[in-house]
Amino acid sequence: MRPALDLSPACGAWTGVGRYVRDLARGLAEHGCHAVGVYQGHHGRPDAALAAWVEDQRRYDLVTGRLGLWLRLPGVLRALKADCWHATTTIGVPGARWRGPVVATIHDCYPLHERAAVSAHQRRRFAGLVTGLLARARVVLCPSAVAADEVRAFNWRGPLQVIPHGLPPVDAPPRPALAPAAPYLISLGAIEPRKGLDRLAAAVATLGRAAPPWFHVGPVRHDPDRRLRKAITTAGGRLLGWLPEPERLAWLANAWALAQPSAFEGFGYPPLEAMQLGVPVLARPARALKEQLGAAAWWIAGESPAWAEAIAGLAGDPARHAQLAAVGRSRAARFTLAAMAEAHLAAYAEAMR
């Protein structure tokens, strides 16, 4: 079997979908499947690690818009001798000259939510991409039940599979040189309204000197008036910006706890990665996170006072800290690259029947 993967999410700035594409390519390669890849290249080349896991990569720029998509992409896929095209919402689907099956992964439909910090044009464009994918897909994949429900809202009645993303094995890196010797709190993710960082900032500010040092790792995605960044720094938090994976893992692995106050996620990469490293997780009960983390997280449903109480409570309860670390490791161990690869290969086989 020779699937062609949409590698575009793994170009440029790192995202959850980009990480999924990279980890899927690795999982398939370790499973003996020789995938090939296509990417747009508008934001650079795909993550360098993909070269070891994808047999061939072809750049594909939509220089002639939809006409190019319909006329050129089929030829690229035929040249790669692809058996099926595994698309995300970044490129779309090839024209009728491609007669092979299409498998679509919809990570989430957050841009369509009212609270999403996107323009009306971006919302319409995203809805069009999803509609186009569903029109051609034989099988649709989602990493969570909440994402699957969003796909069903598009009146999709075809095969729909929930396949959680897998985590590659990782060893705990040494403490970063700039990290404090004292226990510190960490949060990960893009700085944007849905991440709930203002709620966390208010909680840390309430605790004052009793709060542990707080560091946030992640790029700015939507904070035009700097309100979120100001809230973090006013509370005493430090912004580390986007960090390469080894540095990000080092900061995460040596943290006292991860705070995940997001209102919405398609899949919980940061909290699962923290659990994999034995770092307790304080999380807002967003539906997808509840689905993936189960009883392994300390759930905080309230506003900032509840977050302040939980942070102080975990600091004063070493036994619970150790229990959350142990349960979290066990929970994260369920999410393997091998299981993800096997489920995807089964989905490709179903699409090809």
201: enclosing H helix or E strand: helix 197-207
71: enclosing H helix or E strand: helix 65-71
Is residue 241 a part of any domain in this protein? yes
Q: What is the dihedral of CA 40, 44, 47, 53, to 10 degrees?
A: 50
| 87 and 118 part of one domain | yes
| 133 and 8 part of one domain | yes
| 92 and 148 part of one domain | yes
Is residue 174 a part of any domain in this protein? no
- End-to-end C-alpha distance for the chain, whole angstroms: 12
Residue type, 252: L
Residue of higher predicted confidence among 123 and 297? 297
Q: Could you tell me whether strands 298-299 and 238-241 are parallel, antiparallel, or unpaired per DSSP bridges?
A: unpaired
| 158 and 202 part of one domain | no
| 147 and 271 part of one domain | no
For residue 22, the domain's CATH number is: 3.40.50.2000
Q: Look at residue 68 in the predicted model and tell me its pLDDT.
A: 61
67 pLDDT band, cuts 50/70/90, is: low
| 15 and 157 part of one domain | yes
Q: Look at residue 328 in the predicted model and tell me its pLDDT.
A: 98
Query: Does residue 63 register a pLDDT over 60?
Result: no
Q: What percent of the chain has pLDDT over 70?
A: 96
13 pLDDT band, cuts 50/70/90, is: low
Condensed to tens digits (0 to 9), the pLDDT of residues 185-243 reads: 999 999 999 899 999 999 999 999 999 999 999 999 889 999 999 999 999 999 999 99
Other C-beta atoms lying within 10 Å of the C-beta of residue 210: 12
Is residue 171 a part of any domain in this protein? no
Query: Does residue 347 register a pLDDT over 90?
Result: yes
Q: What is the DSSP string of 10-56?
A: GBSS--HHHHHHHHHHHHHHHTT---EEEE--TT-SBPGGGGGT-SE
**Cα gap 218→122, rounded to integer Å:** 22
Q: Look at residue 171 in the predicted model and tell me its pLDDT.
A: 86
Condensed to tens digits (0 to 9), the pLDDT of residues 25-61 reads: 999 999 999 899 998 877 788 888 899 999 999 987 6
Q: Look at residue 65 in the predicted model and tell me its pLDDT.
A: 54
Query: Does residue 71 register a pLDDT over 60?
Result: yes
**Cα gap 257→347, rounded to integer Å:** 36
Please give the structure tokens belonging to residue 154: 């598009």
Condensed to tens digits (0 to 9), the pLDDT of residues 143-154 reads: 999 999 999 999
| 280 and 340 part of one domain | no
Whether 324 and 296 have beta carbons less than 8 Å apart is answered as: yes
Query: Does residue 296 register a pLDDT over 80?
Result: yes
Query: Does residue 352 register a pLDDT over 90?
Result: yes
Please give the structure tokens belonging to residue 90: 């970044």
| 103 and 190 part of one domain | no
344 pLDDT band, cuts 50/70/90, is: very high
| DSSP symbol at 171 | P
Please give the structure tokens belonging to residue 252: 């995460």
Residue whose structure tokens are 């393997």:
336
Q: What percent of the chain has pLDDT over 90?
A: 75
Is residue 309 a part of any domain in this protein? yes
Condensed to tens digits (0 to 9), the pLDDT of residues 155-164 reads: 999 999 999 9
Is residue 175 a part of any domain in this protein? no
Closest CA to 73 of 51, 98, 54: 98
Please give the structure tokens belonging to residue 92: 């779309």
Strand ranges across the sheet with 56-59: 56-59, 36-39, 3-6, 84-87, 102-105, 139-142, 160-162
Is residue 41 a part of any domain in this protein? yes
| 81 and 162 part of one domain | yes
Is residue 76 a part of any domain in this protein? yes
| 89 and 214 part of one domain | no
64 pLDDT band, cuts 50/70/90, is: low
| 132 and 34 part of one domain | yes
| DSSP symbol at 57 | E
| 47 and 195 part of one domain | no
- Total count of domains within the chain: 2
Q: Look at residue 11 in the predicted model and tell me its pLDDT.
A: 87
Handedness of CA 11, 16, 22, 28 (dihedral sign): negative
271 pLDDT band, cuts 50/70/90, is: very high
Is residue 177 a part of any domain in this protein? no
Whether 58 and 76 have beta carbons less than 8 Å apart is answered as: yes
324: enclosing H helix or E strand: helix 318-332
Query: Does residue 122 register a pLDDT over 60?
Result: yes
Containing domain of residue 49, as a range?
3-166+336-352
Is the pTM value of this prediction over 0.85? yes
Label residue 46 left, alpha or beta by phi (over 0 means left) and psi (-120 to 50 means alpha): beta
Phi, psi values for residue 258, rounded to 5°: -105, 130
Pick from 44-53, 76-85, 316-325: least confident:
44-53
